[in-house]
Structures are given as C-alpha cells and as structure tokens.
Amino acid sequence: MKKTLYIFSNGEIRRKQNTLYFESEDGKRKYLPVENIGEIMVFGEVTINKRLMEFIAEKHVILHFFNHFGYYVGSFYPREHYNSGYMILKQTEHYLDEEKRVELAKRFVMGAMENMIKVLSYYERREVEGLATPIEQLRCLEAQIADVPDIERLMAIEGNAKDIYYRCFDNIIGDEEFSYTVRTRQPPRNRLNAMISFGNSLLYVEALRAIYETHLDPRIGYLHATNFRRFTLNLDVAEVFKPIIVDRLIFALLNKKMIQPKHFTRELGGVYMNEKGRRVFVEEWEKKLNMTVKLPSLKRNVSYRRLLLLELYKIEKHLIGEKEYSPFVMAW
C-alpha cells in the first residue's frame, strides 16, 4: 500500500520531470518518490501550481489541507479512477429509499457503539473503576437501535452514547491536566478535546483515502446526510473506527506521557495542539495504522489501514445485494 507524506514546514511542492520535490523556505530540497505516495497531508503554508496538480492527478495522489490549528480544511481529490456508474446508482438508491438508508445508518451506529463498549470493557478488565454502569447504559441504548424509525432519532441515540462514552475518559486517563469536562469542537476548549478533534480529522482523511481505492463515491453518505458538504461517506465509516483507532491512540499517548501540556497552545478562545504536539501525534498515528490485528474471516493479520479498505468492500457488497454489511468490531 502506498505511503502517506506529511508536510509541516512552509515552502513549495514542485514537479521536476517525472518526480516531485519539496523546497522549504530556507531553500532546502527534499525529493518525493511520487510512485510510492498515496496522499500528501499539508499542515504548513505550502504553495502549489496547476502543473503540479495535473501531475499528481495523473499519479492518483490525493492532497489534504489542514489549517493553522491542524484541522482538516479540504482535499484535492483527483478524478475518481475507479468510480463505477453502476455503484453510484446503487449508492443513490440506498440513500433515496428511506428504509434502506436507515438500515445502513443503523449498522454504522451499532458498530461504533460495540467498539465503544469494547474499549471500556478492555479498561474495566484492567481494573479501571467506574466503567460498569456506563457499559450497561451503552448496551441499553444499543438495544433501542433496532426499533428506531428515522435518522434523526438514530443520531439522538448516537449522541447520548457518545456523551456517556466520553465521560469515561477521565477514569481511563486519570490526569487532571487532560480532563474531559464536555465535548467541544469549534473551538475545542481543553487539551483532551483538542486531541480528539485532531485524531478524528486524521481518521476522516484516512477513510477518504480508502474510498478512493474503491468504486464508491465519497459524497453519498447515509448516517451523515448527503448535502452540499463535499464528502460524507468517510464520516460514516470513521464512526465505526474512532473508538479503536483514535481513542486508543490518545490513551496510549497520554499514559506514556508522550503528549504533555507543553504540546498545546491557546488561541482565539480555543486550545490547540502546537506543531511539536502534532508531529508526535502523527508519528504515532502512522505506527497505529500500520499495526496489525487478527482477522478471523481472512485467517491472517491485517493492518488498521487495510481494515478501513476492507470495511468499504463490505459496504460495496451490501449495496449490490451480495452480502449484508456487518461493521467491524474489535475482538478484545
């Protein structure tokens, strides 16, 4: 699988014949092996031009842009080279048919909730106190999903589940410097919320990259409404994996003291990770995505990055009526 390139410095990405190079503000050049790159994550102030974009479109490289605070802004998503008119019709059919849409959306939420329960159960077995009641509350909410008639009420259940789940983070982390309090996004109001938002942004982008390798169109989602927002299917898929990829990584970074208060800054009424903090997070993020887990259905180990792609293949099979979609649930 092709690699992800992260650019934190300011400068310019340029094309030179059949390759790329990044020239930093101080004039230093770093050549980029374009044949081995699947996506470029741009965190610095980087200049690009039309000639470059034509080249990376030809090479099927996705460009993702993040703002000054490290949060996702948007992507240059080259013309979909695997897009299938048949699959787009099937995606649209399942979106316009309310019953089919709600059924698929339920599966995303159930997968997310099952993985929330798995995460909390994992730490309960390691003698973290105060998790038994939240686990039971999540199970009760999960039991209500089958009878939910519409997306609005489904999202209400999901919202309640997340509130219960996130309030358990203080028990798991046990550090007043990284207390949860309440979920805040725009802007995040404390360090833990800043980490959650940053990690979720990375996961949305990784799911988008995986979609690019399938016949699916990222603009047609089911739990998240398809509207004027550019992409939504990646948000749906990310819900399933947030607890086991983003949240577990956050716990590891904090419990190992790899992320500390010095890695944050306060600006414009919010709290954000600074560049050093983002670099630490991204380095461990790549390690996490390349970690492998045993997948009984394939009888072999696969990476978390590969799991995202396999999840999308399962969604494709669901849409064409080959096999009903069952979300990935960690087998801890």
Per-residue pLDDT of the chain (332 residues; tens, 9 = 90+): 788 999 999 999 999 888 899 999 988 999 988 888 999 999 999 999 999 999 999 999 999 999 988 889 999 988 766 777 899 999 999 999 999 999 999 999 999 999 999 999 999 999 999 999 999 999 999 999 999 999 999 999 999 999 999 999 999 999 999 999 888 877 898 999 999 999 999 999 999 999 999 999 999 999 998 766 679 999 999 999 999 999 999 999 999 999 999 999 998 889 999 999 999 999 999 999 999 998 888 888 999 999 999 999 999 999 999 999 999 999 87
pTM score, two decimals?
A: 0.93
Whether the CA torsion 232, 237, 239, 243 is positive or negative: it is: negative
DSSP string, 45-102: -EE--HHHHHHHHHTT-EEEEE-TTS-EEEEE----SS--HHHHHHHHHHHHSHHHHH
pLDDT at 269: 84
CA 298 to chain centre: 23
pLDDT at 87: 93
Give the pair of three-digit tokens for residue 209.
């990259």
